[in-house]
Structure 1
Amino acid sequence: MIKSQWYAVLDSKEVKKGRLTGATRMSQKLVFWRDSGGQIHCIFDKCCHRGASLSAGKLVDGAVECPFHGFQYETTGKVVLIPANGMNAEVPDNFKVNSYLAKEAYGLVWIWYGEDRENVPEIPFFQELKSGFFYGGFSETWPVHYSRAIENQLDVVHLPFVHKTTIGRGNRTLVNGPVVKWQDNLMTFYVKNQTDRGQSPEKPGEILDYEKLFSLQFQMPNLWQNVISPNFRIVAIFAPIDEENTHIYIRSYRKGKLPLLFNWISDFVGNVGNKVILHQDRRVVITQIPKKTELSMKENLIQGDLPIIEYRKRREKLKSKSERQRDC
């Protein structure tokens, strides 16, 4: 995982008021909860006393109470009460667990995966989806590293083979470009796949008026968007569980609120279609070796893999940058 980044890790609805929510993210067992004002907090889900899971406990006056011996933790991860020592006993500084800075935005729970909490940037999200859109969706877990799951959504070559009966109909096996453009850490890539009639694919620099082509976007470190139309988008959030598993949230965004029944029908139909397409991908992606991708691997990449190559380069650049900052 890339340090010093905001990661979307949960759907906001998964963290309910008055309850603890346990989840493994970033290879760490974590517990999330809301305070009385609704703000989300996150600490490590392992009591510093005897290693019990804190998410199996409960909230007591805003503090997380361990189910084993009643130790209570505040939002920073520090123990504020050891019942066996008495309510007025001072708690030593070493009685604490790590915590993450957590925030809620755009219907998602985010954690800042970094050490510096004073100079964190704005939470990244697709600008046009910040308001005016409604969404519905579903989620599921894949047994792959999040980089594999992401790269599948950057792969424009696989469509006529993996999705022959759905979005890959038309036998457009020839891949022109694709054209890849960056704006800060937002990648937009433009797709021009065609039926192979013996012509050579155009290189990225040879494609004219590429802005008019079908496009997709990827926002580092773990958000993807399929720009189907100005009023309809598909978004995927790749929440890293650990080095071998990823929880994927799929959302359909649309403009214009429909009556409740039509909203439900629209979401249901959209989810069915998205699941069919996603499971076509899953069948192949879970077979890829290794489960995690790197900048340099024993692969023979082709021109059509440009979005994947660009993603790997940017990921490596951000990893190196965060490592340099940590060493300073």
Structure 2
Amino acid sequence: MIKNEWYAVLSSSELKKNELIGVKRLNMDLVFFRDKNNKVACLFDMCSHRGAALSKGKVLDNCNIQCPFHGLEFNKNGECQFIPANGINNQGDLERYNVKFFKVKERHGIIYIWNGDDEVETDEIPFHNEIDKSFVFSEFKDWWKTHYSRAIENQLDVVHLPFVHHNTIGAGGKTLVNGPKVIVSDKEKTILTSANNEVDNGQERHGPNESEIRSTYLKFKFPNIWMNNITDKIKVLIFFVPVDDENTILYLRFYNKITGIKLVDKFIGFFGKIANFIIERQDKRVVETQRPKASSLKSKENLIEGDKPIIEYRKMRQNLKGYGLK
């Protein structure tokens, strides 16, 4: 994982007040809950006493969570507040029972956790500014048996369209890949590209400098949020949630403001979700077969010019992980 980044890990709609959710994220077992002000908290999902999963416990009226095994209580900062077996007047040193907690932010209907050091924490949350509050969205999630880097690369891949999606978004047999043009912003940690594919009639293939970023474009923002800008009024967003080294959850959202009437646009979003589910499953069938599970800049793959967005993704990911380009 890339350190010192905010990772999108849950949809806000999944976490209800007075409930606990235990999930595996970034190779860690975590428990999420909301306090009395509806603020999200996240702790390591293991009681410091005997190792039971806190997610099997409950949220108390004082907004602490209680271990299901022996009743130890913890606040949103992981601080042990009470050990029932010791008695009210004999609590002793509770600090040694504290559990690890994680910084959390909730924006855009997404729950993020900070994967890094407190001293370099930033307030900037990764999202795509092309999507504002005038849009409505429909959402579904799907579990992929692959590393999140492979899933991300698939959404930057313009070469696969006429083959994987031959009867959907890749229909038309446009197998010749011009470019593609790729714009990288180290400051914004983004990669921008678009398909410039054509039917192959034996013509010369254009290079990246002769290609363009079209109005329908793909944009990825590190560490794990991608967007397909279809039109000014239709966008598809995916956040790729790392579970562990071999599993990823895709949260796919269809955003639209086609009519500007939110109730109608929500109805349209239902059909957009169905269409995107079909396309997503076409990708999943192939990507899950890739070996190795995770991608890397130095690999045994023989990449082609059309893979430039993927190459740029691997370069930036390696730099952000602190390995440089050696």
- Could you say what secondary structure the match of 2:201 adopts? coil
Letter in 2 for 1:158: H
Q: 2:71 is matched with which residue?
A: 70
What secondary structure is seen at the aligned counterpart in 2 of 1:278?
Answer: helix
Encode CA deviations 1:171-220: one digit per residue, 9 max, x unaligned: 0001011111123211111220011111232111123xx24453110011
Q: Which residue of 2 aligns with 1:325?
A: none
Q: Distance in 1 between matches of 2:204 and 2:99?
A: 58
What is residue 261 of structure 2 aligned with on the other side? 258
Tell me how far apart the structure 1 counterparts of residues 17 and 100 of structure 2 sit (CA, whole Å). 22
Cα shift at 1:47: 0.7
Query: Do the aligned partners of 1:135 and 1:253 also contact (CA within 8 Å) in 2?
Result: yes
| Aligned with 1:231 (options 219, 233, 241) | 233
Q: Distance in 2 between matches of 1:257 and 1:18?
A: 35
Distance 2:192 2:88 in 1: 56
State whether structure 2 residue 285 is matched by structure 1 residue 283.
yes
Query: SS of 2:85's equivalent?
Result: helix
Offset, 1:225:
0.5
**2:81 alignment counterpart:** 80
| 1:59-118 per-position Cα deviation (integer Å, ceiling 9, x unaligned) | 111111001000011112121111111223133422122111011000000001112256
The question of whether the paired residues in 1 share the 8 Å contact of 2:46 and 2:52 is answered with yes
Q: Deviations over 1:207-245 (max 9, x none)?
A: 3xx244531100111111111000110111101111111
CA RMSD of superposed structures (Å): 1.6
Change over 3 Å in CA distance of 1:70–1:79 after alignment to 2: same
1:177 equivalent in alignment to 2:179 = yes
Percent identity reads: 45
* Alignment counterpart, residue 205 of structure 1, candidates 209, 222, 231: 209
Structure 2: segments with no counterpart, 5+ residues? none
Range with bigger deviation, 306-315 or 76-85: 76-85
Q: State whether structure 2 residue 96 is matched by structure 1 residue 104.
A: no
- Aligned pairs for 1:115-126 (under 5 A) are 115-116=117-118, 119-126=121-128
Give the TM-score normalised by structure 2: 0.94
Q: Verify the 8 A CA contact 1:101 1:117 in the aligned structure 2.
A: no
Q: 5+ unaligned residues in a row in structure 1: which ranges?
A: 323-328
Q: Give the drift of 1:321.
A: 7.2
- C-alpha displacement of 1:264: 4.9
CA shift digits 1:238-282 (9 cap, x unpaired): 01111111110010111254364x445323211211111011111
Contact (CA 8 Å) 1:192, 1:213: kept in 2 or not? no
Find the aligned partners of 1:74 and 1:200 in 2 and give their Cα distance. 64
- Equivalent residues, number: 319
- Residue equivalent to 2:193: 189
Partners of 1:191 and 1:213 within 8 A in 2: no
Q: For the residues of structure 2 that align with 1:181 and 1:68, how far apart are their CA atoms?
A: 53
Letter of the 2:261 counterpart: L
Give the aligned partner of residue 24 of structure 2: 24
TM-score by length of 1: 0.93
Distance 1:90 1:130, change over 3 A: farther
1:40 aligns with 2:47: no
Tell me how far apart the structure 2 counterparts of residues 154 and 65 of structure 1 sit (CA, whole Å). 44
Aligned ranges 1:152-171 → 2 under 5 Å: 152-171=154-173
**In structure 1, C-alpha distance between the alignment counterparts of 2:237 and 2:117, rounded to whole Å:** 28
Q: Measured at CA, do residues 211 and 161 of structure 1 come closer, stay the same or move farther in structure 2, by a change above 3 Å?
A: closer
Contact preservation (8 Å) 1:226, 1:234 = yes
Measured after TM superposition, the shift of residue 18 of structure 1 is 1.2
